[in-house]
Homo-oligomer: A and B are copies of this chain.
């Protein structure tokens, strides 16, 4: 089943957002236009816009206002992906060449800057101090997370707390902000939009852990990039941390480096898969999911709430 079947009533608004995304990155510069469009056309789940819209459904939903928030958050996400690909030396994302691969690191850096600037431009139209406060706090944390991520690479001595803080900044905070900001601009009372923030935070944590597990269990076709790529790039994720509780596996993982023989990498992937680390990681993901579902119960019942519940459950079971 496809996730988007869970919120078909948003289809026309999501189509509008797709169009606005394309419009937002139009640039006089041909290079910028091409690079940005390449990124946009590579697709993505647009999960942040979906959360913005659903958050808005808890209040006075006005698509003319809320669309700017939705587009802005997706652009911020896209901009951070472009810069991430530079750091990760990633060649592929969603089965497409990354901007840094198709052009180069410098173009990727500035395309990210540009997309980010466009995101801010859109948010400027929103006259809501709380919304701006939430957004700017999120952006600062996001940028701190980006650099901490570099420091954590190939650092096999980090602990669980370290990992959780990293994925919070990398993923959960922006999803949390998406759920909350949709509600804020729709005039949802503080008590409720704070709950939507927490819901997004828990779902985001669960989402990223599942993502990190998929790097070990997914196929290249499902992932749109080779399996084991995270490990190869030195990203010490939850399955890695659990697998390293075994001294033998720990020593094998410590030897991981870019350019190592594929055979050896595959051996290590198999060791991780069979170590019980996947199951342990998914159990943590489930715990976050349970928390998400629980806080959701405290919100008024409506169609959006049902969609949020369905999405959360879907994310827990997804294979790609």
| Residue numbers in B under 8 Å from A22 (CB-CB) | none
**Interface residue A148 (Cβ < 8 Å from any Cβ of B):** yes
Q: Nearest chain B CB to A270's CB is how many angstroms away?
A: 31
Report A67-78 CB contacts with B as 1/0, cut-off 8 Å. Answer: 000000000000
A105-B105, A121-B136, A139-B121 as given contacts; A113 in contact with B148, CB under 8 Å: no
Segment with Cβ contacts to B, from A5-13, A124-132, A179-187: A124-132
* Contact B106–A118 (Cβ < 8 Å): no
**Interface residue A320 (Cβ < 8 Å from any Cβ of B):** no
| Residue numbers in B under 8 Å from A148 (CB-CB) | 29
Report A94-109 CB contacts with B as 1/0, cut-off 8 Å. Answer: 0000000000011101
Number of identical protomers: 2
**Interface residue A86 (Cβ < 8 Å from any Cβ of B):** yes
* Contact B151–A29 (Cβ < 8 Å): yes
Interface residues on A, range: 35 or more
| Residue numbers in B under 8 Å from A139 (CB-CB) | 117, 120-121
A109-B109, A110-B83 as given contacts; A117 in contact with B132, CB under 8 Å: no
Question: Residue A143 contacts which of B113, B124, B132, B142 (CB distance < 8 angstroms)?
Answer: B113
Query: CA–CA, A236 to B151, complex, Å?
Result: 37
* Contact A86–B114 (Cβ < 8 Å): no
Q: Nearest chain B CB to A153's CB is how many angstroms away?
A: 10
Query: CA–CA, A114 to B124, complex, Å?
Result: 20
* Contact A132–B136 (Cβ < 8 Å): no
Central interface residue in A83, A133, A146, A147, by most chain B CB within 10 Å = A147
| Residue numbers in B under 8 Å from A110 (CB-CB) | 83, 87, 143, 146-147, 150
Query: CA–CA, A132 to B122, complex, Å?
Result: 11
A121-B136, A121-B139, A150-B106 as given contacts; A29 in contact with B113, CB under 8 Å: no
**Interface residue A3 (Cβ < 8 Å from any Cβ of B):** no
**Interface residue A285 (Cβ < 8 Å from any Cβ of B):** no
Known: A106-B150, A117-B143. 15 other contacts (CB 8 A): A27-B144, A29-B147, A86-B106, A87-B109, A110-B146, A111-B147, A114-B140, A114-B143, A114-B144, A116-B143, A117-B139, A118-B140, A120-B120, A121-B140, A132-B132
A interface residues with partner B (beta carbon < 8 Å): 27-29, 31-32, 83, 86-87, 105-107, 109-111, 113-114, 116-118, 120-121, 123-124, 127, 129, 132-133, 135-137, 139-140, 142-144, 146-148, 150-151
A-B contact pairs, 18 of them (CB 8 A): A27-B144, A28-B144, A29-B147, A32-B144, A32-B147, A83-B110, A83-B113, A87-B109, A87-B110, A107-B147, A109-B109, A110-B150, A113-B143, A116-B143, A117-B139, A120-B120, A124-B129, A127-B129
